[in-house]
Amino acid sequence: MASTNSESLKSSLLEQIRNVVDFNGDKESALTQLHFPVKKQEEWKYSIPNFLADSYQLSSLQEVPVSSIPSGLPSDACKLVFVNGVFSSELSDKSLPSGLEVSFCPLNNSIKPFEENLFGKLNEASAEKQGIHLHVHKNASIEKSILLVHIIPSTGLSSWIQPSISIHLEANSSASFGEIWEGLPADHFVANAVNEIRLESGANLHWLHIQDGTSDGIIINQTRVACAANSLFRHIVLSTGSGFVRNNLDIHIEGSGAHADMFGLSLGNGSFHCDHHSFLHHAVPNTTSNQLYKGIYSGKSTGVFNGKILVDQIAQKTNAYQSGRNILLSPDAKVYAKPQLEIFADDVKCSHGATIGQLDEEPLFYLRSRGLDLATARLLLVRAFASEILMQINSDSLRAYAEEKAIRQLDEMTKS
Amino acid sequence: MLKINNLHARIGEKEILKGINLEVKAGEVHAIMGPNGSGKSTLASVLAGREDYEVSAGSVEFLGKDLLELSPENRAREGLFLAFQYPVEIPGVTTINFLKTAVNEIRKYRGEAAMDAVSFLKMMREKSQLVEIDQALLSRSLNEGFSGGEKKRNEVFQMAMLEPKLAILDETDSGLDIDALRIVASGVNKLKSPQNATIVVTHYQRLLDYIVPDFVHVLWNGRIVKSGTKELALELEEKGYDWIKAEAIS
Ligand SMILES: Nc1ncnc2c1ncn2[C@@H]1O[C@H](COP(=O)(O)OP(=O)(O)O)[C@@H](O)[C@H]1O
Ligand SMILES: [Mg+2]
C-alpha cells in the first residue's frame, strides 16, 4: 500500500479517536512522528505490510444480543465480555470470584513504553477512555478460570477495534485467564489489542490465548509481561484459521526465582498468516524460561517465528530454552524461523533450535500398514504433534475447549 | 494365497530384488533366511507396499488380487500383516489409540459392523495375555522408550489383534532373549490355522526350533537361491552361507 494511503488511514483513525478522547498536544505530535510498518523494517519483513485497507470504522461498544457470546465456552468459568474491544458489563458475569476486581483504567504503560510502535500508540490513545484493569488481590487463589471473551459484531463495515487490558496479580496470588477470540466475523477488521500483565512476587498466572477461525480479519496482539521474584507465568497461544495474526509477546523477568513458559500452536490453512514475535528478557540472576512453538501449515499459509532471548550481564544462572517445530502439509505453505540469542552473562544455559519439515514418511507407512487410510494416519500424527502443546493447559475444561478447536481445524487441514 | 512371480524391485538406480519366485499356500509356514543385506526386508517392504521401492518387473497375487495395485492400507485390510524389523516410534500416538481405528477400518472394509469399546477392550485383554505384553505399554506412546523385546512383542500383539491371513515377521526374533523368543513364538503358533499362513524372516535358525517351518528358502543377492524343508535350516546353521553362495554362482 502506498505511503500516502497509510498516512491518510492514520489521520482518519486519529480523528476518530479524538472524537472519543481528549488529546493533549504532546501525544498528538508523538503520534504524527510514527508510521505503519513497511516491509523493509526487519521486524515486519515476513509479515506483509500491505494488508491494511484504506479506511476503517473505529468501533466501540454496541448493543448485541446475548447470543453473540460463543456457545461452547467452558461453563465453569467466569466470563468477562468485550464488544468491539470495550468491556460490556451487561454481557459479563455479574458476580466475580472473590479476590478479583474489575475497573476502568487507562494502561499505565509501566512495563515497557511503546516507542516506535504506531499500533501500540494508537491503542494507548483510546485506552484513556476504554482501558480495563483486572486486579487480583494478595494471596487470592482464584479457582475459576476467567475468560476475556472478545466479540466483534458483523456490521458490513471494516471495523478497527482497540482492546486495552491490564492485569495485576498481587503477591502470592494465582489465577488462570483465557483470552478468547472466536466466532469472528467474515468481514475485514483490525483488532489492535494490548495486554499489560504484572505479576508480583510469588504470583502464578496461567494465560491461554485462543485466536480461532480468523478469516479475513487482522489481529495484532501486543502482550507485555513483567514477572517479579519467584513468580510463575505460563502463556499458551492457539492460533487457527485463514486470517492474519501478529503476536508480540514480551516478557521481562525482573525478580530472581521467576519462571516463564511460552507455548504456541499455530494451525493454518488457506492464506493464514501467523507471526509470533517473542521477546524474553532475563534481567536478574537465577531465572528460567522455556519456549516451545509448534506450527502445522497447509494450503498457502505462512508461519513466522521470531524469538529473541536477551540475558543481561548480571543475569547469571539463567536457564533459557527455546524451540520451534513446524510441519508443512502442502508445497505452498511456508515457515520463516528466526531465533536470536543475545547473552551478556557467562554462567548461563541457553539453547534454541527450529525445525521445519514434512510429516514423516515412516510413521505414515507404519500406520497405513495397519489398515489406516492416508488421511486418518495424517490426522492421527498431526493431532499427536499438537497435543504436546495442548496438554500444557492446566484447566481441564479450557483444555477440552482448546482441543475441540484444534481438532476441528486439523480435520479441515488434513482432508485430502 | 500368495504367488510371487519374477519380482524385481529397485531403490533409485540400485536393483535389490532380482527375480523372486515364491508361492505360499494357506496353512503353511515359510522361513526366509539369508545373510544381512540380501534383500529380505526389501521383499517384506515391497509386499507391504512401501513406496520407496519401485517394482520394475514381475507380479504378486494375493488371494486372487493383484497385490501391487493396492495401497498399503488396502493390503492390510485384505489380510496382509508385516511385523517390522525396526518398528517406528510415534510420540503421542498410543497402540490402543491407533489399533482401535485400525481394527474398525479393517472391519468396515470387510463389510462388518464396527466393534464397540467394550468388545475391543475385551479382545485387547485376551490378546495381550496371549503374547504376555504388559497392558500399560499399550497406552504409552508407540515404541517410545520400549526395550527391543517390548517393541517386538508389541508387533506380535498387533498381529494378534488384526488377525491377518498372511503374516510376515521380519526378524521378529532378533534382539530377543530366549524367554521372549519362546513367548513370541508361542503367540505366533497359537494364531496359526489352516486358513492363514506365515512368512518368517530370520537369519538365525534358533527361532525355527519354536516356529517349525514347512519350507525354508535362502535369499541371497536379491534371489531365492535355494529352497528346502526345515532340514535346510539346520544345514545352514552348521555350514554357514558360503556353500550356498558358491553353489549359486556356479
Ligand atoms: N532405503 C534404501 N536405500 C538404499 N539402499 C537400501 C535401502 N534399503 C535397503 N537397501 C539396500 O538393499 C540391500 C538389501 O537390504 P535389506 O532388504 O534390508 O536386506 P536384509 O533384510 O536381507 O538384511 C542392502 O544392500 C541395503 O543396503
Ligand atoms: Mg532385514
What is the band of A416 on the pLDDT scale with cuts at 50, 70, 90?
A: low
What is the band of A108 on the pLDDT scale with cuts at 50, 70, 90?
A: low
Interval A355-380 mean pLDDT: 94
Interval A66-88 mean pLDDT: 93
In short, whether B41's Cβ falls inside 6 Å of ligand 1 is yes
In terms of pLDDT, which residue wins out, B178 or B155? B155
Among B7, B11, B13, B16, which residue has the most ligand 1 atoms within 8 Å of its CB, making it the best to mutate? B16
Q: Is residue A268 part of a domain?
A: yes
DSSP reduced 3-state for A152: coil
Q: Is residue A144 part of a domain?
A: yes
Are the Cβ atoms of B73 and A388 closer than 8 angstroms? no
In terms of pLDDT, which residue wins out, A1 or B205? B205
Q: Is residue A310 part of a domain?
A: yes
Q: Is residue A378 part of a domain?
A: no
Interval B216-242 mean pLDDT: 89
Name the region of A84 (left: φ>0; alpha: ψ -120 to 50; beta: rest).
left
Q: What is the distance, to the nearest Å, from the Cα of residue A162 to the centroid of all Cα atoms in its chain?
A: 14
Domain extent, residue A12, equals 6-360
Compute the distance between CA of residue A30 and CA of residue A298 in angstroms, rounded to an integer.
41
Element holding A293 (H helix, E strand): strand A288-297
Nearest CA to ligand 1 atom 5: B11
Q: Is residue A381 part of a domain?
A: no
**Read out DSSP for chain B?**
-EEEEEEEEEETTEEEEEEEEEEE-TT-EEEEE--TTSSHHHHHHHHHT-TTSEEEEEEEEETTEEGGGS-HHHHHHHTEEEE-SSPPPEEEEEHHHHHHHHHHHHHHHTTPPPPPHHHHHHHHHHHHHHTT--HHHHTSEETTT--HHHHHHHHHHHHHHH--SEEEEESTTTT--HHHHHHHHHHHHHH--TT-EEEEE-S-SGGGGTS--SEEEEEETTEEEEEE-HHHHHHHHHH-SHHHHHHHH-
Instruction: Choose the closest CB to A384 out of B84, B92, B158.
Output: B92
Q: Which residue of B has its CA nearest to A367?
A: B98
* pLDDT tens for each residue of B154-169: 999 999 999 999 999 9
What is the band of A1 on the pLDDT scale with cuts at 50, 70, 90?
A: very low
Number of domains in chain A: 1
Give me the pLDDT at residue A109, please: 64
What is the band of B112 on the pLDDT scale with cuts at 50, 70, 90?
A: very high
Are the Cβ atoms of A371 and B82 closer than 8 angstroms? no
| Residues forming a β-bridge with B30 | B199, B215
Interval B14-24 mean pLDDT: 95
- Report pTM: 0.89
Burial B137-153 (b: 16+ CB within 10 A, else e): bbebbbbeebeebbbbb
pLDDT at A37 over 70: yes
- Residue B133, Cβ neighbours under 10 Å: how many? 24
Instruction: Choose the closest CB to B106 out of A366, A371, A380.
Output: A371
A78-82, B182-186, B192-196, range with the lowest pLDDT: B182-186
* pLDDT tens for each residue of B118-172: 999 999 999 999 888 898 999 999 999 998 888 999 999 999 999 999 999 999 8
Torsion of CA A135, A138, A142, A146, to 10 degrees: 10
The answer to whether the CB of A236 falls within 8 A of the CB of A263 is yes
In short, whether B45's Cβ falls inside 6 Å of ligand 1 is no
DSSP reduced 3-state for A149: strand
Q: Is residue A395 part of a domain?
A: no
pLDDT, chain B, mean:
91
DSSP reduced 3-state for A9: helix
CA-to-CA dists, residue B76 to A72, A308, A376, B67, B90, angstroms: 39, 48, 15, 11, 19
Residue A383 sits at the chain B interface (C-beta within 8 Å): yes
The answer to whether the CB of A322 falls within 8 A of the CB of A291 is yes
Q: Nearest-CA neighbor of A236 among A272, A269, A278? A: A278
Element holding A343 (H helix, E strand): strand A334-343
Residue A416 sits at the chain B interface (C-beta within 8 Å): no
Q: Is residue A190 part of a domain?
A: yes
Q: Nearest-CA neighbor of A196 among A220, A176, A167, A169? A: A167
In short, whether B38's Cβ falls inside 6 Å of ligand 1 is yes
Q: Is residue A372 part of a domain?
A: no
| Residues forming a β-bridge with A244 | A218, A273
The answer to whether the CB of A13 falls within 8 A of the CB of A52 is no
Q: Which residues of B touch A (CB under 8 A)?
A: 48-52, 71-73, 75-77, 81-82, 84, 87-88, 90-93, 97-99, 101-103, 105-106, 109, 158, 162
Best of A294, A296, A372, A378 to disrupt the B interface by mutation (most B CBs within 10 Å)? Answer: A372
Best of B47, B52, B67, B73 to disrupt the A interface by mutation (most A CBs within 10 Å)? Answer: B73
* pLDDT tens for each residue of A210-226: 999 778 889 999 999 99
Interval A149-176 mean pLDDT: 94
pLDDT, chain A, mean:
91
In short, whether B250's Cβ falls inside 6 Å of ligand 1 is no
Q: To which residue does cell 500383516 refer?
A: B81
> Shortest Cα distance from B34 to chain A (angstroms)?
24
Instruction: Choose the closest CB to A384 out of B52, B75, B90.
Output: B90
Torsion of CA A23, A28, A30, A33, to 10 degrees: 150
